[in-house]
């Protein structure tokens, strides 16, 4: 049994020699002057699962009575994250600023190839209610589709038809960068700014979605709709073609645009990630338009350690090692915004760590996602790969 002591003015500590030795061996709390000082999540975990008791002024108090003295946001969610990590035999501690030289995690660098296309001497007829345009010139339409995989030539995955259909993103891109003439079926030539204006009235965050589309397209990536996968785009690396070897290639990445002012339920955000992983695709998150003044000092929850290989064995990492992750503990019904997520990602990156989200559902099960920064050459935007992780 471990005897813990609590004082509202001091906190929670263990002072008996046997308990101190046991906690130090398993890297609980902070050892100072012969005592181990515990954070509330550790104390609650020890009470619930490690046969520990807590005393206040000599009287034993229960789990919820101790918790009531810590009216902090998401206390039970943080406790649950701590409990799950500890149950796996891994070490976790409250977040602290790391001292000394901070190693930088290597970025994932994506290959790029500048988009090359001469000026287009062709018209596209714009259908404002449908946010689509049509090019009737079969030769130009086929070349755009087969050489650059822009638009849909004929019928999807069917070798028939001669019209090239462009969505609003493709229409804006070609008009802005390659002089495509856009003519409304209602009459009159319209600019790429006017096309974007039409889209912005009908589709939320159309401008941010276009900015991300343009960012990848100008670097040679093929960017197509990700509707079937619950995301904005599916991404193909430079060189992909819809007619390569006579068959459609499969994308390996999907990209979701998360505007900085938008807020999503964690459950909705996680659902899109799960759909991507279910079809063996990497999920990419884009947070456009972040500026230095947008970043906030969002409190982090934990530093988390995993396991390392020593010889032929895997052993747990400890505070004597460098932590791997900055962990944020969230609940499935919680809202998260683009600014909050980008700020946590920056804090993790500045600490030389990866960000891990610990998502607690209503049945106290935990799902973990690791976010890794992606380097898109010469891009001003923030992109991250998100992967499901089992500790």
Q: Which residues are catalytic?
A: 236, 250, 281
Report which DSSP code applies to 220.
T
Distance CA 123, CA 137 (A): 8
Distance CA 34, CA 180 (A): 76
Contacts of 160 (CB under 8 A, 6+ apart): 154
Distance CA 193, CA 176 (A): 8
For 42, phi then psi, to 5°, come to: -65, -45
189 pairs with which residues across the strands?
Answer: 183
Distance CA 217, CA 324 (A): 34
3-state secondary structure of 270: helix
Distance CA 192, CA 216 (A): 18
Report which DSSP code applies to 165.
E
Q: Pull the structure tokens for residue 170.
A: 């493709």
Distance CA 282, CA 253 (A): 5
Please check whether residue 173 is in contact with residue 146, taking contact to mean a CB–CB distance below 8 angstroms.
no
Q: How far is CA 388 from CA 12, 40, 82, 273, in A?
A: 34, 28, 18, 8
Contacts of 158 (CB under 8 A, 6+ apart): none
Distance CA 321, CA 298 (A): 25
Positive or negative, the CA dihedral 11, 16, 19, 20 is positive
3-state secondary structure of 131: coil
Distance CA 9, CA 69 (A): 10
């Amino acid at each position: 049994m471990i005897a813990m002591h609590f004082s509202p003015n001091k906190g929670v500590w263990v002072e008996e020699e046997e308990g101190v030795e046991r906690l130090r061996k398993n890297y609980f709390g902070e050892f100072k002057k012969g005592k181990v000082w515990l954070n509330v999540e550790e104390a609650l975990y020890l009470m619930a699962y490690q046969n520990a008791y807590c005393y206040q002024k000599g009287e034993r108090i229960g789990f919820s009575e101790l918790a009531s003295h810590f009216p902090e946001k998401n206390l039970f969610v943080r406790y649950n994250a701590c409990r799950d990590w500890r149950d796996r035999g891994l070490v976790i501690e409250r977040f602290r600023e790391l001292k000394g030289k901070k190693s930088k995690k290597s970025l994932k660098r994506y290959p790029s190839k500048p988009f090359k296309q001469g000026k287009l001497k062709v018209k596209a007829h714009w259908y404002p209610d449908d946010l689509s345009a049509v090019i009737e010139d079969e030769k130009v339409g086929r070349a755009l589709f087969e050489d650059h995989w822009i638009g849909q030539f004929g019928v999807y995955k069917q070798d028939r038809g001669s019209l090239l259909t462009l969505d609003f993103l493709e229409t804006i891109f070609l008009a802005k960068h390659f002089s495509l003439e856009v003519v409304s079926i209602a009459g009159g030539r319209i600019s790429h700014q006017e096309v974007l204006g039409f889209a912005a009235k009908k589709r939320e965050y159309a401008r941010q979605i276009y900015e991300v589309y343009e960012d990848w397209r100008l670097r040679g990536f093929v960017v197509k709709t990700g509707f079937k996968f619950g995301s904005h785009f599916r991404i193909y690396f430079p060189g992909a073609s819809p007619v390569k070897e006579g068959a459609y290639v499969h994308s390996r990445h999907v990209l979701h645009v998360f505007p900085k002012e938008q807020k999503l339920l964690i459950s909705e955000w996680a659902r899109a990630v799960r759909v991507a992983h279910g079809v063996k695709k990497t999920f990419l998150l884009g947070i456009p338009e972040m500026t230095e003044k947008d970043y906030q000092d969002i409190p982090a929850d934990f530093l988390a350690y995993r396991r390392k290989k020593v010889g032929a064995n895997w052993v747990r990492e400890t505070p004597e090692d460098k932590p791997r992750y900055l962990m944020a503990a969230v609940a499935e019904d919680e809202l998260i915004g683009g600014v909050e997520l980008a700020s946590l990602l920056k804090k993790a990156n500045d600490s030389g760590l990866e960000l891990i989200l610990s998502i607690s559902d209503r049945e106290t099960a935990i799902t973990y996602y690791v976010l890794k920064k992606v380097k898109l050459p010469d891009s001003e935007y923030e992109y991250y790969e998100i992967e499901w992780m089992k500790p």
